């Protein structure tokens, strides 16, 4: 079986660095806000939503509000819903953002918070928790999403639940933050281009190493 690290290198050579998580560095420099809070807000807004729609919501927040948890805490609920509306599921997401913003107050710093604590917050599931820990907290937590499950299912014939796959990646890869961040983003990029739910295997540039001749999911 092709080693995971080799697969990472293959995708990296194919697509180049993805530089996730995208944040507006200049905005945070000027405003003196914490870019990690933009990651947290984006992680909730992107739940089952295309990033394009999340960007619209983030633009609204930038224009009429602020990328900060203190803003989320203070803003009126109806106003928050209006701002994040383009990202869909805005009723739930507004409530979740409020919950998270109150939970991640200054006594709970992202750099030291435990995964189990994050998972207790309503609206933070495993994927969102790991995305926050990895991209906002620089913690070695590999993020598993639908693309990742599809990818290892097809390319490596490996299936399992969230924790199984997370352990597989974490035990197989070097403990390197850059690789964790890039590999997850690269898998998503490949998933968007070719390894879709209805895959474009004929056009896939790495179909030769795929173990799935007839993808079933």
Partner DNA sequence: TACCAGGTGGGAA
Partner DNA sequence: TTCCCACATGGT
Which residues make Cβ contacts (< 8 Å) with residue 31, sequence separation at least 6? 66, 67, 68
- 116 burial type by CB count under 10 A (0-12 exposed, 13-18 middle, 19+ buried): exposed
Q: Does 165 bind DNA (CB under 7 A)?
A: no
Cβ nearer to DNA, comparing 87 with 141: 87
CA distances from 173 to 43, 95, 120, 145, 163 (A): 24, 36, 28, 17, 15
Q: Which of 9, 28, 86, 98 touches DNA (CB under 7 A)?
A: 86
Q: Which of 16, 17, 125, 205 touches DNA (CB under 7 A)?
A: 125
Q: Which of 17, 192, 211, 217 touches DNA (CB under 7 A)?
A: 192
Residues in region 62-81 near DNA by CB under 7 A: none
Cβ nearer to DNA, comparing 3 with 25: 25
Cβ nearer to DNA, comparing 32 with 181: 181
- Residue for token pair 């200049």: 26
**Token digits of residue 135:** 């991209």
Cβ nearer to DNA, comparing 3 with 192: 192
Cβ nearer to DNA, comparing 61 with 121: 121
Cβ nearer to DNA, comparing 3 with 120: 120
- 3 burial type by CB count under 10 A (0-12 exposed, 13-18 middle, 19+ buried): exposed
Give the range of 9-17, 91-99, 151-159, 202-210 binding DNA by CB under 7 A.
91-99
For residues 203 and 197, what is the distance between their CA atoms, to the nearest angstrom?
15
Residues in the interface with DNA (CB under 7 A) total 45
Q: Does 161 bind DNA (CB under 7 A)?
A: yes
Q: Does 88 bind DNA (CB under 7 A)?
A: yes
For residues 57 and 85, what is the distance between their CA atoms, to the nearest angstrom?
7
Residues in region 5-64 near DNA by CB under 7 A: 20-22, 42-43, 46-53, 56
Query: From the CA atom positions of the chain, what is the Rg in Å?
Result: 18
For residue 77, the 8-state DSSP code is H
Binding site for DNA (CB under 7 A): 20-22, 42-43, 46-53, 56, 85-93, 121-129, 131, 135, 145-147, 161, 185, 188, 191-192, 196-198
């Amino acid at each position: 079986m092709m080693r995971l690290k080799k697969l990472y290198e293959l995708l990296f050579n194919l697509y180049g660095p993805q530089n996730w998580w995208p944040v507006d560095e200049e905005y945070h420099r000027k405003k003196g806000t914490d870019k990690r809070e933009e990651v947290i807000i984006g992680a909730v807004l992107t739940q089952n939503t295309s990033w394009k729609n999340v960007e619209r919501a983030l633009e609204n927040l930038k224009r009429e509000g602020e990328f900060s948890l203190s803003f989320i805490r203070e803003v009126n609920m109806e106003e928050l819903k209006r701002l994040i509306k383009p990202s869909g599921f805005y009723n739930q997401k507004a409530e979740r953002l409020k919950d998270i913003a109150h939970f991640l107050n200054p006594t709970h710093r992202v750099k030291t918070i435990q995964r189990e604590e994050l998972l207790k917050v309503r609206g933070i599931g495993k994927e969102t928790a790991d995305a926050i820990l990895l991209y906002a907290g620089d913690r070695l937590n590999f993020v598993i999403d639908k693309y990742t499950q599809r990818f290892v299912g097809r390319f490596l014939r490996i299936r399992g639940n969230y924790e199984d796959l997370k352990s597989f990646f974490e035990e197989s890869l070097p403990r390197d933050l850059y690789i964790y961040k890039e590999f997850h983003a690269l898998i998503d990029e490949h998933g968007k281009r070719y390894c879709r739910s209805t895959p474009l295997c004929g056009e896939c540039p790495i179909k030769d190493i795929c173990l799935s001749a007839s993808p079933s999911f």
